Amino acid sequence: MTEGEPLFRLDWVLQHLDMLWQRIGEHILVTVIAVAAGFVISFGLALAVRRYPFIYGPILAISGILYAIPSIALFVLFIPITGLSLLTAEIALVSYTLVILVRNMVTGLRGVPPEVIEAARGMGYTDRQRLWRVELPIAMPIIVAGLRIATVTTIGLVTIATLIGMGGLGYLIVNIGVQRRFPTATITGVVIVVLLSTAVDLGLQLLQRRLTPWARAHEA
Amino acid sequence: MTSSAAVVTLDHVSKRYGPAGTPPAVSDLSLTIPAGEIVVLVGPSGCGKTTTMKMINRLIEPTTGRITIDGEDVMRLPAVELRRRIGYVIQQVGLFPHLTVAENVAVVPRLLRWPETRVRDRVEELLDLVRLDPATYRDRYPSALSGGERQRVGVARALAADPPLMLMDEPFGAVDPILRDRLQNEFLRLQAQVRKTIVFVTHDVDEAIKMADRIAILQRGGILAQYDTPDAILAEPASEFVSRFVGADRGLKRLSLGRVRDLALTSPTTARVGEARADVRRRLDEAGAEYALLLDESDKPIGWIERRDLSGDDGVTPDDATPGSPTLQPESTLRDALSAMLGSSVQLGVVVDEAERVLGVVSVDAISEVLRAPAATVR
Ligand SMILES: Nc1ncnc2c1ncn2[C@@H]1O[C@H](COP(=O)(O)OP(=O)(O)OP(=O)(O)O)[C@@H](O)[C@H]1O
Ligand SMILES: [Mg+2]
């Protein structure tokens, strides 16, 4: 910390609102890309597991290993291949979402009671109708719960992606705040990350309640 | 399969879950299920009832043999289309938890792309049919229903597209005995209106006897032990297995199939309040009887008068009679009638109509006669 520098300078924040908005925008963009890509890949994997249950073990093992690699290491690992690019960041971020999303999707689909599946078959749903109209809606609360964890985790990890030049709120926290010894930026960045995570988490929770009114019927 | 009830035939049907050589779950089963009848598949746990039933809507495919519905081989129809034309009720009900009661009932009509207004009307009609007030229940989710209400929604859902054939796997298995009895009665009332062909699975002999027009008793390995009317099975079990399965009290069970109205009633010698005793004595002499049944002005029975209490010449008074005979309705089951008669001092039952007028009397002997008679005299 520079001598005489106060811990927090509101005037700096107010003077740099434009820059802050830009960082928030970058942060959200990187997060959304990672979660969306992770969701699509996980969904594909979960459907594959639904059809071929024996591949679940290997998928969990691989995604588990990816998850266990420290985030910085994973970023660095891909730099020789994909350079200091958005792609590098996204590869790492997506890898982290997989284990959470796949596990929740598979758990959700497997949690559909067998008698409900049998009833659906017996009523004459095609396999695809059964998936979209019965299994996925019933699995929805668990899938959205996974999505919430994955999104909040990713928002946190995107902060680290600043190390490979991805900007976002990490730029505020590390590049401005830590490297230039300017605590106002660090504090501002951290606060925004926390607010962002909380807001997204709450938003997804509300979305889930909206989508699954039946899941609350017995609580009411 | 367009009529209101379908004929189903199973022709040498076998199902083996394991590789060739393992014991089959269903062995060489041939059955004809007549249109509009309730056929109950009954047998001990694991004897292949569910397997047999699921082969009809192809949830399970037979290893060998042929199943037809109204002459059409089920294996030739697309499975999904076939199932939409067969009502299906499973033991655990299996309502869709994310759909309301109305949406659950509407599942098959919507799969069949009925127009929305027709679907809505049908849902109301069905909820009424299973005695669930549409306004109260339409928008509830299954988690907010009692077990019995769920079973009814399950039945309504199966009936929704007016299928000519219904498959019901232990549909009333998950509820208490009192409610089960009520659901059974309601279902029989419903069936009297809709007259579907129904394949009904249970492992409860009493339920089978109550619900069935015909019973197919299966033994382990899906071997057909006997296929006949409940009365014929109770009267003449085809094997040791069947007689053990239906129970040592099969005579009494058989009595619960029969009704008092099925018996030939005998007319007792009657007397009327106020009548001269001498007249009653004379009539007893003519009939060679020892007892006369005393009636009041409106033909209601008061009790029995014994001949030796009829000395003198005054009029008969109600005090002369000994009450004690049970009164029976023509609808009473023979089992209830026998039970009432055994419990009373005079072992004769007085059968009365709705206005309590005497129709005749039955004796314990007349009832045991029924048990000695061959099948089909009852029902
Ligand atoms: N999917 C399956 N794979 C292997 N064996 C099976 C399968 N389903 C049933 N079986 C076997 O087939 C036999 C008949 O089973 P089924 O379910 O038809 O009996 P059930 O008469 O309906 O019995 P319950 O009264 O207990 O419901 C049993 O021995 C059972 O273990
Ligand atoms: Mg069964």
Which tens digit of pLDDT belongs to each residue from B240-275? Answer: 999 999 888 888 888 888 888 888 888 888 888 888
Return the closest-CA partner of residue B358 out of B301, B280, B298.
Answer: B301
B83 touches chain A (CB under 8 A): yes
d(CA A130, CA A121): 8
Answer for the pair B325, B351: CB distance below 8 angstroms, yes or no: no
- Best CA proximity match to B226, nearest among B250, B243, B201: B243
Q: Please, what are the domains in chain B?
A: 8-253 (3.40.50.300), 261-377 (3.10.580.10)
Ramachandran region, residue B65 (left: φ > 0; alpha: ψ -120 to 50; beta: rest): left
Reduced to 3 states (helix: H, G, I; strand: E, B; else coil), residue B327 is strand
Q: Residue B166: its chain A contacts at CB < 8 A? A: none
Distance CA B39, CA B45 (A): 18
CA distance B30 to chain A (A): 23
Site from B57, B90, B95, B98 to mutate, A interface, most A CB atoms within 10 angstroms:
B98
Q: Inform me whether the pLDDT recorded for B376 exceeds 60.
A: no
| CA-based nearest distance A53→chain B, Å | 20
Closest chain A residue by Cα to residue B111: A125
Cα(B213)–Cα(A127) distance, rounded to whole angstroms? 36
- Record the pTM: 0.80
Chain B hits for A126, Cβ within 8 Å: 80
The structural domains of chain A, with segments of one domain joined by +, span: 10-219
CA distances from B14 to B165, B200, B220 (A): 21, 19, 13
**Ligand 1 center from residue A118 Cα (angstroms):** 15
Residue B150 has pLDDT above 80, yes or no: yes
Return the pLDDT at B375.
65
Token pair, residue A218, equals 């017995």
Q: Which is the closest atom of ligand 1 to the Cα of B43? A: 21
Residue A122 in contact with residue B59, Cβ under 8 Å? yes
**Residue ranges around ligand 1 (CB below 6 Å):** B 17, 25, 45-51, 203
Among A121, A124, A218, whose Cβ lies nearest the Cβ of B144?
A218
Interchain contact A219–B (C-beta under 8 A): no
Contact residues for B34 (Cβ-Cβ < 8 A; gap 6+): B7, B197, B213, B214
d(CA B156, CA B101): 10
Task: Tell if the CB–CB gap between A123 and B81 is shorter than 8 Å.
Answer: no
B-chain residue closest to A125, CA distance: B80
Which residue's CA is the closest to the ligand 1 atom numbered 22? B50
Q: How far is the CA of A126 from the centre of ligand 1 (A)?
A: 24
Please give the pLDDT value at position B2: 41
**Could you report the per-residue pLDDT of A64-92, keeping only the tens digit for each?**
888 888 877 877 888 888 877 788 888 88
Quote ipTM for the complex. 0.85
> Among the atoms of ligand 1, which is closest to the Cα of residue B201?
22
Residue B201 near chain A (CB below 8 Å): no
Please, are residues A60 and A102 in contact by the beta-carbon 8 Å criterion? yes
pLDDT in tens, A147-195: 999 999 999 988 887 777 777 888 888 878 778 888 888 888 889 999 9
Task: Kindly state the helix (H) or strand (E) to which residue B158 belongs, with its residue range.
Answer: helix B147-159
CB contact under 8 A, A115 and B93: yes
Q: Top-level CATH class of A10-219?
A: mainly alpha
CB A92 within 8 A of CB A38: no
pLDDT-derived band at B201, boundaries 50, 70, 90: very high
Residues A142/A147/A149/A153 CA torsion (nearest 10 deg) = 160
The stretch B33-48 carries a mean pLDDT of 94
Which of B16, B17, B26, B219 is the pocket-test mutation for ligand 1 (most atoms within 8 Å of CB)? B17
Q: Would the pLDDT of A219 be above 60?
A: no
CA B47–ligand 1 middle distance (angstroms): 7
CA distance B160 to B85: 10
Round the average pLDDT of chain B to a whole number and report it. 89
Cβ distance of A116 and B143 shorter than 8 Å: no
Which chain B residue has its CA at the smallest distance from A137's CA? Answer: B98
Question: Is there a contact between B144 and A119 if contact means CB atoms under 8 Å apart?
Answer: no
Mean pLDDT, residues A117-126 taken together: 95
CA of B201 to the centre of ligand 2 (A): 8
CB B277, CB B309: distance < 8 Å: no
Tell whether A214 lies on the interface with B, counting CB pairs under 8 A: yes
Residue of B57, B95, B97 with shortest CB distance to A122:
B57
Cα nearest neighbour of A118 on chain B: B94
For residues A184 and B105, which has the higher predicted lDDT (pLDDT)?
B105
The whole-angstrom distance between A103's CA and the closest CA on chain B is 22
Q: How far is the CA of B370 from the centre of ligand 2 (A)?
A: 35
